[in-house]
Structure 1
Amino acid sequence: MTTPMLHQPLPVSRRKDVRSRTSSRDSVTEPQTGFAIRVARPSDLEPLVAIENAVFDADRISRRSFRNLIGSPSALVLVVEAPAGPAEAGLPGAGRSSDKAPLCGPIVAYAALLVRRGTGLARLYSIAVVSEAAGRGIGRALLRAAEAAAFARDRIALRLEVRADNAAAIALYRAEGFRPIGTYLDYYADHETALRFEKTLRGEHAIDTGVPYYEQTTDFTCGACCLMMAMGRDIPGFVLEPVTEIRLWREATTIFMMSGPGGCEPYGLAVAAHEAGLHAEIHVSEPGDLFLEGVRNPEKQVVMGLAQEDFRRRAERYEIAVTIRRFTLDELRAAIAGGKTAVVLISGYHMFGKKVPHWVLAHGDDGRHIVIHDPWVADERGETVADAANLPIPYETFDRIARFGKVGLRAAVFLSRREA
């Protein structure tokens, strides 16, 4: 569904599972004291249906669907309770819901979140606030609660859709750090366009390990940029700038990839790091030449093979440690705990939808996430450095994306200060 359009009944129609309802009053105020947000219970079914019928004019969530959402392990429904007592809440019907129920106010809002397994994304499916509760900042509070719930379930981003004519909801999302990522034409039943928004989730306490961030200036220098970020922390006086970016890329590249300029490979990265003054360790799951399965031109394969053979010989001459097997998440965590950084190969498909090898720098561990600097900032999707630096990736997700190609190539270069 879409995201909030809260209270005031605006004309709304939704296609399939897309919904949204919010008001301008709700987008600029904080929630009043006394309102409580909690997880929905089966006993909340009737109030949820009542809110749905009061707020939305079409394409309403059914009683059966609400029951399924409340009981589903891949969904979460949050509700807002008003303060106890009609005089305190200013709402009709406040008070005890039954003789046995604890003193509480009526349910005045809800948000439904989808957290399907096997993905690092969450989706705000629906959010609604009754008109009597307008102006208390409930929509903003629910949105933040949904973000916290998604992060607690190891999601790295929260997505939503909203009607293009819902200016109040759009203003709220932008104010809360959501960025536009796409458009669905003719999305709703009345043919209105839907705008897609996304927010990178970091939790309340971002990790800062002192590793500087640097955004790659080309499509092919991700590996070099990861090296630069590690050097920025561990080599005194090192300057992160484009001339060095291109130099390091030239020193670590395989010359050819699938097409266009070449990309870096683990032996080349390790050699370049060693020559720059860092201690390097190579971890790679496959022996011999890498990345050749995607190259059809025999001449390119030969050149790549020769370049990689040169890197392997130089790595041996420099006595760079090489481990030929898949590194484990525990090994990566131990390296980070020991003050090392790691340039790690991942599938670009999982990060920005392109099936290309991509390097990121792992530099932190908060007990649930590997914290990375991703040098790629997708400007065309509205991303900024804030979306790519200090990005917490859940352990399970990181373990899944840290491989590339049909063979599931696993590669990393662990880096640290070289002892004098």
Structure 2
Amino acid sequence: MASSLGEKKRLHNPAAEAAEMQVRAATLSDLDALVGIEAACFDSDRLSRRSFRDFIHHGHCTLLVSEGGDGLTGYILVLYRRGTALARLYSIALMPSARGIGLSAVLMTAGEDVAREHGCLSLRLEVRPDNAAAIALYTDLGYKQFGTYLDYYEDHADALRFEKRLVRPMPSATAPSYYSQTSEFTCGPACMMMALKAFDPALEFGRVEEFRLWRESTTVFMQTGHGGCEPVGMAVTLARKGLSVEVFLSQEPPLFIDSVRLKDQREALTLIQEDYRREADELNIPVHIEPLDNIALSAALGEGAYAIVLVSLYQMLGSRTPHWVLVYGEENGRFLIHDPWVEKDALETESAAAALPVPKEAFERMARWGRGRLRAAIIVRKEQAE
């Protein structure tokens, strides 16, 4: 996130000037002015004309501008992750001539309002540690620092992470440590690591452990190369590491074979899953051929369990690839999830993928994959059942 919010004293009435500014949604006719604001405010990490056009035309976002008698004076850009209740302030900027009159707070309030209208629970942002004016503004508006990104900006400066609750918070589970997958096919192992570390804080995250878990539980072929993991295989791996697990499926295995065209791959996938099922029986892992509904999921979360759930990313990111997320709590009618996939092409950071509040109705639609509407979940508890 970029911000240019330096303030300076004026001799005139700043409150009156701010009140005269109109805040409205940006249009394509604002492109020249937006590019001009960007050039006047930032030496690096600038948004391009093409980026502004995409945000106005196609982006899942809100781009607001402030306008006075002499034209545009600033803008604020808020991004949303589809299917979630999280907003992210990506950029805010004011022309030098418009600073010092409180317009930055006006834009921030407008951005919070539209995020609230989109059903968002929280607004997150990043800011440079040396941007004292912006930090003071965010603090005054109720934002609280919750982390730091190292080497975040183009000039290698760090970024402080801030968040503000947009609705009254309810007691919720503490978020476990977050880990983003480092390959396209290790979402399952990333979720497994997050669950393992939640019960064993001494566990160290890393790619070696990520791929070790993948190797121990993979069974899915993809047309483009390596595949991901299936639920019984992941459950077996977690059970062998001392956790108590149970699996919920909407259909009998083998799973994920409909999209596999080659006969030998289909046979291999079937054999591997049959072997995982034998191991699950030996380890007394319950495998329920019934989907895990929201009521049962809430009950498990209330008992301190975590859930690794199969979802379709189509609603959020437009991808039809099967994907695993970690559900760790609920709040205000939303499930709280860690999504290990960070969509960097959409300007996402870990801030946009961790601790996502997802409305339960949206999660119900999201937690199905493929033409057969496959539903799969693994409930993970601290100790193995006796």
Whether the TM-score (by the shorter chain) exceeds 0.5 is: yes
The answer for the alignment partner of 2:174 in structure 1 is: 209
Distance (whole Å) between structure 2 residues aligned to residue 19 and residue 156 of structure 1 = 33
**Alignment counterpart, residue 253 of structure 1, candidates 218, 221, 234:** 218
Q: Equivalent residue of 1:413, what SS?
A: strand
Change (3 A) 1:123 1:53: farther
Residue 277 of structure 2 corresponds to residue 264 of structure 1: no
Residue 255 of structure 1 contacts residue 303 of structure 1 at CA under 8 Å; is this kept in 2? no
Inter-partner Cα distance in structure 2 for 1:208 and 1:19: 46
Once residues 265 and 17 of structure 1 are traced to their aligned partners in structure 2, the CA distance between those partners, rounded to angstroms, is 49
Whether the aligned pair in 1 keeps the contact of 2:335 and 2:360 (CA below 8 Å) is: yes
Give the % identical residues. Answer: 38
Mapped contact 2:242–2:383 kept (Cα < 8 A)? yes
Amino acid at match of 1:371: L
Q: Are 1:373 and 2:338 counterparts?
A: yes
Letter in structure 2 aligned against 1:249 = W
4+ long deviations beyond 6 Å: 6-9, 16-24, 117-124, 199-202
- 1:135: Cα distance to partner? 3.8
Native 8 Å contact 1:403 1:409 kept in 2: yes
Identify the match of residue 332 of structure 1 among 289, 293, 297.
Answer: 297
Say whether the 8 Å CA contact 2:21–2:67 is kept in structure 1. no
Distance in 2 of aligned mates of 1:200 and 1:256: 40
| Alignment match, 1:303 | 268
Q: Is the 8 A contact 2:84 2:359 kept in 1?
A: no
The 5-angstrom pairing of residues 115-154 of structure 1 reads: 135-151=100-116, 153-154=118-119
CA distance in 2, matches of 1:364, 1:133: 43
1:347 aligns with 2:312: yes
Q: Provide the C-alpha distance between the structure 2 equivalents of 1:299 and 1:397, rounded to a whole number of angstroms.
A: 37
Q: 1:67-106 counterparts in 2 under 5 A?
A: none
Cα 1:217–1:399, aligned 2, differ >3 Å: closer, same or farther?
same
Q: Which has the larger radius of gyration?
A: 1
Q: CA RMSD in A?
A: 4.8
- Which residue in the other structure is 1:316 paired with? 281
- The answer (yes or no) to whether the contact 1:235–1:417 under 8 Å persists in 2 is no
Distance apart, 1:147 and its partner CA: 2.5
Is the contact between residue 207 and residue 390 of structure 1 (CA under 8 Å) also seen in structure 2? Answer: no
Write the deviation string for residues 272-295 of structure 1: whole angstroms up to 9, x where unpaired: 111111110101111121111211
Q: Which runs of 5+ in 2 are unaligned?
A: 1-17, 42-65, 124-132, 139-144, 146-160
Distance of aligned partners of 1:147 and 1:295 in 2 relative to their CA distance in 1, 3 Å threshold: farther
1:283 is the counterpart of 2:248: yes
Q: Is residue 220–residue 230 contact of structure 2 (8 Å, CA) maintained in 1?
A: no
Is the 2:86–2:357 contact (alpha carbons within 8 Å) kept by the matching residues of 1? no
1:270 counterpart SS class: helix
Contact 1:8–1:55 under 8 Å retained in 2: no
Distance of 2:357 and 2:320 partners within structure 1: 22
TM-score, normalised with respect to structure 2:
0.64
3-state SS of the aligned residue for 1:293? coil
Structure 1 residues 34-81: Cα deviation after superposition (integer angstroms, max 9, x where no partner): xxxxxxxxxxxxxxxxx9895769xxxxxxxxxxxxxxxxxxxxxxxx
Q: Residue 15 of structure 1 is aligned with which of 11, 28, 40?
A: 28
Give a deviation string over 1:131-190, Cα, whole Å, max 9, x none.
x997432343343343255246424799xxxxxxxxxxxx99xx989xxxxxxxxxxxxx
Q: How many residues align?
A: 307
Distance 1:218 1:280 in 2: 25
Separation (CA, whole Å) in 1 of partners of 2:71 and 2:26: 8
Q: Contact 1:361–1:374 (CA<8 Å) still a contact in 2?
A: yes
Q: Tell me if the contact between 1:120 and 1:154 (Cα under 8 Å) persists in the aligned partners.
A: yes
Structure 2 distance, partners of 1:288, 1:16, is 55
Q: Describe the shift of the 1:139–1:239 C-alpha distance in structure 2 as closer, same or farther (beyond 3 A).
A: closer
Residues 210/395 of structure 1: CA separation in 2 closer, same or farther (3 Å cut): closer
Once the two structures are TM-superposed, the CA of residue 15 in structure 1 deviates from its matched residue by 3.0
| Residue from 214, 225, 232 that aligns with 2:190 | 225
Distance 2:281 2:164 in 1: 40
CA deviation vs aligned residue, 1:181-206 (integer Å, no higher than 9, x gap): xxxxxxxxxxxxxxxxxx99873569
**Deviation by residue 1:387-410 (Cα, 9 ceiling, x = unmatched):** 221111122222221111111111
Map 1:106-121 → 2, pairs under 5 A: none
2:249/2:292 contact within 8 Å kept: yes
